[in-house]
């Protein structure tokens, strides 16, 4: 399976990118870094600059169909930039509309709020997003990980880096189930 990791060019929380990326690799799947700009993504370790990561795909219209699932890593600056980018918002929304699972951690649901993809869904996030999620028609819960099977697509959300074990385990299970239902053989 091909798993898209959508980030802005700067501000992604490093561990929220690298731990899920490793979980995808451990599952035998193909993670791809999709970014709003070419080159490298600058990650952060909270407020400190972290490593950089090579971009695999530059965000352009119509690229969601090339992937089986989407991971939205957090950090504050990353999803804040993504929710202001029309192509990024459309890309995330396309996964939901196509019935493909989406996993989002920490502040990442901001992009889904902007895509009008939380209405009627129950999810978790960093606590400061609670009001945004509720105002967008979602139900916010304070849980380590939340899997919402509302149609048309499964949404897996988590609150923070401390929840990464639960988050990775949940999205790997859900992505595998989705791939099995879809008969995905892409590698």
Task: Tell me which residue has tokens 């219209």.
Answer: 61
Catalytic annotation on 107? yes
Which residue in 35, 106, 148, 168 is the catalytic one?
106
Helix, strand, coil % over all residues of the chain, rounded to 5: 40, 25, 35
Instruction: Determine which one of 107, 148, 149, 168 is catalytic.
Output: 107
Give the whole-angstrom CA distance, residue 146 versus residue 125: 9
Distance between CA atoms of residues 113 and 119, nearest Å:
8
Q: How far apart are the first and last CA of the chain?
A: 5
**Under DSSP, is residue 58 helix (H, G, I), strand (E, B) or coil?**
strand
| Positions marked active-site | 106-107
């Amino acid at each position: 399976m091909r798993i898209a990791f959508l980030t802005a060019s700067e501000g992604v929380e490093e561990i929220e990118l690298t731990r899920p990326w490793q979980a995808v690799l451990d599952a035998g799947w193909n993670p791809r870094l999709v970014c709003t700009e070419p080159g490298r993504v600058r990650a952060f370790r909270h407020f400190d600059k972290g490593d950089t990561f090579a971009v695999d795909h530059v965000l352009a219209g119509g690229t969601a169909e090339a992937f089986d699932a989407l991971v939205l890593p957090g950090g504050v600056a990353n999803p804040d930039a993504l929710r202001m980018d029309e192509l990024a918002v459309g890309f995330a929304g396309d996964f939901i509309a196509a019935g493909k699972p989406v996993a989002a951690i920490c502040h990442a649901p901001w992009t889904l709020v902007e895509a009008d993809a939380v209405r009627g869904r129950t999810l978790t996030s960093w606590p400061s997003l609670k009001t945004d999620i509720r105002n967008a028609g979602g139900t916010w819960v304070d849980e380590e990980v939340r899997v919402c099977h509302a149609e048309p697509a499964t949404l897996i959300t988590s609150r923070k880096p401390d929840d990464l074990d639960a988050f990775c385990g949940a999205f790997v299970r859900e992505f595998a189930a989705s791939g099995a239902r879809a008969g995905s053989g892409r590698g």
